Structure 1
Amino acid sequence: MSEPLAIPSKKHQVTEEEWQLRVDLAAAYRLIAHYDWDDLVFTHISVRIPGPEHHFLINPYGMMFDEITASSLVRIDQDGNKINPDDFDVNPAGFTIHSAVHAVREDVSCVMHTHTTAGVAISTQKEGLLPLSQQSLFPLSNLAYHDYEGVALREDEKARLQADLGENNFMILRNHGLLTTGSSVAEAFLGMYILQTACEIQLQATASGQPLVHIPDEILSTIQAQAKQATKGMGGKLAWPGLLRKLDRIDPGFRD
């Protein structure tokens, strides 16, 4: 029987601000596992640590998402180098995508990337995400696409990914998966929840074989203002405290 990983607490080794980011990011990894969006150990969420160093937190390579804790997250620089040599290693392919976004988007704190079945399925469809549901309208108002270039290891792909993303906060990586960004972990998670749900709805709707009703373009143009009204301007911060309470009930180890 495998023993649980013994990871010393970093709570008193980092600033309060960094510790809160660690708790939120660990929570996001646990939530990804809870909703079955993980792909063993092969997807990633990163968060920027405020400060002039341009450091980030990302998952230790090889740990399942339901094992990740605030203390196990790895602090790295813009080039993916570990700041603490005693930390776990990180996935170089994972941070290639994340570093490309963080390098050009100062407004982005968190980058989330998944390989869900529904997300990859929609990424293979020529027309991509369609305006079939209310959920689809939020990403469609702010959505980019990036063509598949193989496993994301090459430095020269970064410039093309950056150009494709532009100022958008949602991206479908063709033949690969989904990506969301946000000013906080909460914002990026809510974006991923909505984008993932829209993909699932589209797959079920198109599989029915029935004629589909597309939402008119004029409604799409008003959806961002409606979203702010519906969330009282709080965006992802409206749902995040409840999600943390859910985790505290079912999976509180993320705070360690």
Structure 2
Amino acid sequence: MASAARQPDMSPAEWEARQQLAACYRIFDHFGWSELIYNHITLRVPDEENAFLINPFGLLYSEVTASNLVKIDIDGHVLDGSPYPVNRAGFTQHSVFHRHLADAHCIIHTHTTAGMAVSATQEGLRPINFYAAAFAGRIAYHDFEGVTIRPEEGERLIANLGERRIMMLRNHGTLVMAKSLPEAFLMQWMLQRACEIQVAACAAGTPVEIPADVIAVHQRDLAGVQLPVGVGVPDFQAMVRLIDRTDRSWRD
């Protein structure tokens, strides 16, 4: 992504991360995955220990730009002099994962209708479609404890997540984390599709679950349909081209 207005005291790596994250917020807005001024996508700042970027609390996703993202540390201190506040629930939830999980470079939390609907069911995500089969055995679950502003809930979030990196927050929404933003984006897109199809299938009739042996083959072979440039990279780049055709203000 080309630099548009990087501040003199900001590293090229941070500016690139800011542009990537700002693009992601605009992409989410394009898909209708925003939730007024709430929910969060966070991204670690490259080469800086314990620093990550988060959306300014009070702005719509369509108003997020590279320069107005807020840079904070895992203790909640603003590091870039931003005049914007940070949502307390977003900080509490995301900081615990950024603090304890070295591979959680990008974290996505959404309240999409389909994601919340599936999270509110006893069964959770069922292996009944192409996308859901990719997540079989790979989703963690965490019971609803109210709005996430109490630090002690973080211990239970980490314990319930275990070695998995996708979580259904029961009665609440979804949580996706990955080693890169493009990978997290693709996982979110697939999870959203899986949830949408499950909601539609359950309304249409009795869903048919995919056998475990077929799921194993499916998960084994999925890598064979990816371009060799990194998980989610071509998908994310395609969406950046799409939003650029209508509004490039996120780059500033």
Given the alignment, which residue of 176, 192, 213 partners 1:218?
213
**1:145 and 1:222 mapped to 2: Cα distance?**
24
Given candidates 241, 245, 248, the residue that maps to 2:237 is 241
Shift of 1:9: 4.7
Unaligned stretches of 5+ residues in structure 1: 1-7
1:70 is aligned, of 56, 61, 66, to 66
Tell me the CA shift for residue 247 of structure 1. 1.3
Amino acid paired to 2:217:
T
Deviations 1:59-80 (A, max 9, x none): 0000000010000000000112
Q: Distance in 2 between matches of 1:179 and 1:223?
A: 23
- 1:186 matched to 2:174: no
For residue 119 of structure 1, report the CA deviation from its aligned partner. 0.7
One of 19, 36, 39 as aligned partner of 2:35: 39
Q: Which residue of structure 1 lines up, in the alignment, with residue 141 of structure 2?
A: 145
Distance 2:5 2:234 in 1: 29
Q: Normalising to structure 1: TM-score of the pair?
A: 0.92
- Paired position in structure 2 for 1:4: none
Structure 2 regions of 5+ residues with no counterpart? Answer: none
- The number of residues matched between the two structures is 248
User: Are 1:106 and 2:102 matched, yes or no?
Assistant: yes
Q: What percentage of residue pairs aligned between the two structures are identical?
A: 42
Q: Which residue of 2 aligns with 1:3?
A: none
Supply the distance in 2 between the matched residues of 1:118 and 1:86 (Cα, whole angstroms): 34
Q: 1:144 to 1:13 in 2, by over 3 A?
A: same
Mapping for residues 3-82 of structure 1, pairs under 5 Å: 9-82=5-78
Q: Is the 8 A contact 1:141 1:220 kept in 2?
A: no
- Going from structure 1 to structure 2, the CA distance change for 1:185 and 1:11 (only over 3 Å counts) comes to farther
How has the CA–CA distance of structure 1 residues 163 and 222 changed in structure 2, closer, same or farther, with 3 Å as cutoff? farther
Q: Distance in 2 between matches of 1:247 and 1:109?
A: 23
1:154 to 133, 150, 156: 150
Q: Which runs of 4+ in 1 moved over 3 A?
A: 8-13
